[in-house]
Amino acid sequence: MSVAPNLTEMLFAAGAADQIVAVSAYSDYPQAASALPQVGDAFRLDFERIVALAPTVAVVWENGTPAGVAQRLQDLGIRVVQVPTRTLDDIATGVLTMGELAGTRAIAERAARDYRARIVALREQYRDRPAIRVFVQIDDAPLFTVGGPHLITEILGLCGGDNVFADAEAQALPVDLESVLARAPEVILSTDTDQPAQYWARFPQLTAVARGNLYQSSGDLLARPSPRIADGAADVCARLDEARAKRGPS
């Protein structure tokens, strides 16, 4: 049983699809995951339904599943395996963990190897790119961003981007407009706002606005730590390269 959408994706990547008896809400990738029984989200699980489905193992998200949920599952006699996703490489390790649990080690090893190869290729491709300052907008009401420990900050670094709030110790944090303007990002990357250009148009003096470096990225590809995050990283890298090209001659 999976209690987070990214863990559901890892189970499928590891070849364990036919062993999944239940998933959390929003488990919609791959398409086959949508047909599986859902038992609530990470914060509110239907424990009666879980008991009826009789999973022997629950994989929980170390970064996002509340401790009380994991303890309740253990109290029901279900083995709980916590999967961390604090770094890009943790995702590969998580897939391998799923393969060990499911007895599909060969499939999991292949998936982890392919994922790691994609990350290495991106790192090599963009390692010498000039640094560019980026503000990541994960919500607009209130305005929220990511701090230094967040996985998105690592992705920006992979692409030669500097998170303007990398000095914040929180994974995610509220910020005010004044602090964003003061940090003068060259790029604004939104994972939530559908029309970032419309949101920021009132600040034409901001470099990101003046140069048209307002980008929308798929929240699923960046906010879900699963092998698909390699697709999200590739998209971010391409957007930052596009923004660099607008700097003009130095």
The per-residue pLDDT for 141 is 83
Q: Residue 144 to residues 36, 172, 191, 224, 250: CA-CA distances in angstroms?
A: 32, 7, 11, 17, 33
pTM of the entire structure? 0.93
- In this prediction, the residues of the chain whose per-residue pLDDT falls under 50 are none
Taking residue 137's Cβ as centre, other Cβ atoms within 10 Å add up to 25
Structure tokens at 99: 């393969």
The per-residue pLDDT for 177 is 94
Given strand 132-137, what is the order of strands in its sheet? 161-163, 132-137, 187-190, 214-216
Q: How far apart are CA 73 and CA 190, in angstroms?
A: 35
In order of their start, the domains of the chain are 5-123 (3.40.50.1980), 129-245 (3.40.50.1980)
The per-residue pLDDT for 250 is 55
The per-residue pLDDT for 116 is 98
Phi, psi (deg, nearest 5) at residue 191: -105, 5
Q: Residues of 18-51 as b/e, b for ≥16 C-beta within 10 angstroms?
A: ebbebbbebbebeeebeebebbbbbeebebeebe
